[in-house]
Amino acid sequence: MILLLFILITWDAKSNPFALPFLQIEDKEDYNLEGYLFVLEDTQNRDLSWAFESYSKNAFQLMDHPYLFNKGFSKSIWWFALALENQLDQENILIFSPASSSLHEATLYTLDESGKIANTQISGYRVPNDIRDMDTRLVSFRISLAPKEKVILLLKTDSRGRNIYMPFFLDNAESYWEYEVNRAALFAGISTVLAFASLFALFLFIYLKERVYIIFLAYVLSGTLLILEEDGYAFDWLYGNWFLSLSQIGIPLFGLLTCGFLLKFNLLFTGLKTKNPTFFRTLRGFYYMALGWSLFLLLGIFLIQDYTLKYTFNLTALYLSMACVALVLVSNISQIHKKQGIYILLANLVLILGLTFYFLNSQGITSFNPIPPNGLVVGALVNVLAFTAAIGYRFYLVRKEKEGLLMEMTIKEKDFLLEKFRIQEEERQRIGRDLHDDLGALMAVIRLKVEDAENKVGGINQKIQENLAESVKLIEKATKDIRFIAHELMPSEVDQKRFEPMISELFAMMETQDRLDFRYHVSDLPPLPAYYKTNLFRIIKEMLNNTIKHAKGTEADIDIFYDNEDAEIKVILSDNGKGFDYTKMKEGNKGMGLKNLETRLTYLNGKHEISSGPLGTTVLVCIPFEINEYEQQ
């Protein structure tokens, strides 16, 4: 009996090489792998024959978790075994996915009922898309089961130097693609939100030229790449066709950059440099260490082939990332006594929690995920949105402060101009009085003396008498010029007089010059305050002087009126002179007259337009004036 039993067992083992329990494949959307997935560590990178022999000797061990394999950073090759039996009387198509973003290379061997290789498929992030078994963001394999077929799957995975966090999924094709479409839509939406946050940060940097915004931009971009890399989309959408080697360090690199820029952004945003310089320098040192190690990771792609060194480099990046996150938390706690500090701490807590469990999972310490579906994605999204709102509010405050300073500067500038014009007017009044009272009186005395001398020499010396008569005429002209200048410097009774009589007197004085024939028209103007009348008078006088000096024409027309529709006082001066190149004048040095004109217009919030050509020049001046506001005052 014992001999017969031994023969039966031996014969059964030879006729059935499958030592694993079979997962019954029916017509389901997905399958529960609990109790069917086995694993074996390979420290020497051996071939299929070794794996199959180990399988035959029951060396494969059932996975501790129903579908998740998590060993942290690893230096080993890992083999997985899964036995399938198709229960249908028709072909059954399945998608098998070892969904890890760390797999450099994965080879799936399908063995038939006799234990021979029926199919070999290859995938992984070190394999070009056109060679991979399925050109998707995941490492996935398409399995075709014939009716009632039994197969065993032996999967060889290589993630040496990287953390291996690998959930396994087995779905039918329709369910797989439905999930992938929904997943892609989700990450496309997340990427769009983060892209808008990046553009907003870029706009603020261009507008305000502050480094905090470019650091925030770098943080958002590196965080976006980390999120996409974690789910395989960075490889699939961005660099998989042109820089395969980046996948070896993608997560450590983008994770370290994200944490480094997060630390730097928090330091700048909270103003820690001015509040605690020593602590700031310490934290800044870790930021530069993160940037420096990121550069080492990039160089290591080309210079380091040894998996032990890659393991060390990547693990160091993980620890440095954790240190940066811890320092962010410490710096936030140090600022918790402020409202801004509380907001920043709350904004960072979700991300810090997600990153912490992500790091713990990467180490293989735990597989717990407290923030479904992905703590890293949710934490980063919440953090970016919170800080986008914060920098938006900061921008609002900065802009409001700048507007306040600008308004204050405008008021001070107007006060300065008012004081400047007041001093100018006082000086003009003084000079005008001196010219009128002193020099005018002196000229009158000189004229009397000359006339007296003319009378005394009358009939004695005809030539002397003619010279004296000519001198009297010159003195009369000089007296008129003095009165004209005095009137220009000292328009009489500005406070009491309406503006129209002041202009009429000005043009009456203008009639004494013989260069230009002036025609003017002044419509009814509203009552104007003294400062307004004085400056408007000076503006018109400057326009007239410029025309007399430079136009070299024969006629000029000026029209002064109030435009009710635009609530502006408008002055239009045109002449038939030779004209000039105003564009060239603006680019070059402006004359004193034009500068004075623009200064007074600025004080009154006015503007001017000049059109000039060979047929003459036209100047339009528009000065805002609200009648109701002045009447209420």
DSSP secondary structure, 4-67, as one string: HHHHHHHHHHHH----SPEEEE-S-SB---TTT-EEEEESS---HHHHHHHHHTT--EE-SSSS
Task: Estimate the share of the chain in helix, then strand, then coil, as percent rounded to the nearest 5.
Answer: 55, 20, 25
pLDDT at 65 over 80: yes
CA torsion through residues 380, 386, 388, 394, sign: negative
Of the given ranges (201-215, 484-498, 538-552, 589-603), which has the lowest mean pLDDT?
484-498
Better-scored residue on pLDDT, 232 or 584: 232
Q: Is the model more confident about 550 or about 154? A: 154
Residues 516-531 have a mean pLDDT of 81
Q: Quick one: pLDDT at residue 2? A: 41
Phi–psi pair at 284, nearest 5 degrees: -65, -35
By the 8 A CB rule, do 55 and 115 touch? no
What percentage of the chain carries pLDDT values higher than 90? 28
Transcribe 473-518 into DSSP letters: HHHHHHHHHHHHHHHHHS-TTTTTS-HHHHHHHHHHHHTT--S-EE
Q: What is the pLDDT of residue 140?
A: 94
Quick one: what percent of the chain has pLDDT higher than 70?
A: 81
Dist CA 597 CA 541 (whole Å)? 10
Q: How far apart are CA 518 and CA 544, in angstroms?
A: 9
What tokens does 10 get? 């031996």
- Phi, psi of 530, rounded to the nearest 5 degrees: -60, -45
Looking at residue 3, its pLDDT comes to 41
Q: Is the pLDDT of residue 9 over 60?
A: no
Q: Of the ranges 132-146, 155-169, 332-346, 378-392, which one carries the lowest mean pLDDT score?
A: 332-346
For 102, residues 6+ apart whose C-beta sits below 8 A from its C-beta are 125, 159, 162, 163, 164, 165, 166, 251
Average pLDDT for 414-421: 66
The model's confidence at residue 432, banded by pLDDT at 50, 70 and 90, is low
Question: Alpha-carbon distance 621 to 572, whole Å?
Answer: 7
Does 633 score more than 60 pLDDT? Answer: no
For 272-331, write each residue's pLDDT tens digit.
Answer: 766 678 888 888 999 999 999 999 999 988 888 787 888 888 889 988 988 998 899 888
Model pLDDT for residues 583-625, shown as the tens digit of each residue: 666 666 666 667 777 877 887 888 888 888 888 889 999 999 8
pLDDT score of 19:
65
Max avg pLDDT among 7-21, 109-123, 303-317, 344-358 = 109-123
Each residue's pLDDT tens digit, 320-363: 988 998 899 888 888 887 777 788 888 888 888 887 877 777 76
577 — pLDDT class (breaks 50, 70, 90): confident
Structural domains of the chain sorted by starting position, each given as residue range(s) with its CATH number in brackets: 17-178 (2.60.40.2380), 209-370 (no CATH), 515-633 (3.30.565.10)
Residue range 86-111: average pLDDT? 93
Residue 373's pLDDT is 64
Q: Is 60 exceeded by the pLDDT of residue 271? A: yes
pLDDT over threshold 70, residue 557: yes
If pLDDT is split at 50, 70 and 90, which confidence band does 520 have?
confident
Tell me: pLDDT of 372 over 70: no
Q: By mean pLDDT, which of 22-31, 467-476, 547-556 is the weakest? A: 467-476
pLDDT of 532 reads: 82
Confidence at residue 507, expressed as pLDDT on a 0 to 100 scale:
77
Helix H, strand E, coil C: the string for 142-192 is: EEEECCCCEEEEEEEEECCCCEEEEEEEEEEHHHHHHHHHHHHHHHHHHHH
pLDDT for residue 16: 46
Lowest mean pLDDT segment, chosen from 33-42, 461-470, 525-534: 461-470
- Residue 98: cis peptide before it, omega within 30 degrees of 0: no
Task: Give the C-alpha separation, 38 to 32, whole Å.
Answer: 14
- Average pLDDT of the residues of the chain: 81
Which range in 124-138, 179-193, 340-354 is most confidently predicted, on average pLDDT? 179-193
- Rounded to an integer, the average pLDDT of 466-489 is 69
Would you list the DSSP string of 607-631? Answer: EEEEEEETTEEEEEEEEE--HHHHH
Q: Do 318 and 359 contact (CB within 8 A), yes or no?
A: yes
Centre a 10 Å sphere on the Cβ of residue 350 and count the other Cβ atoms it contains.
18
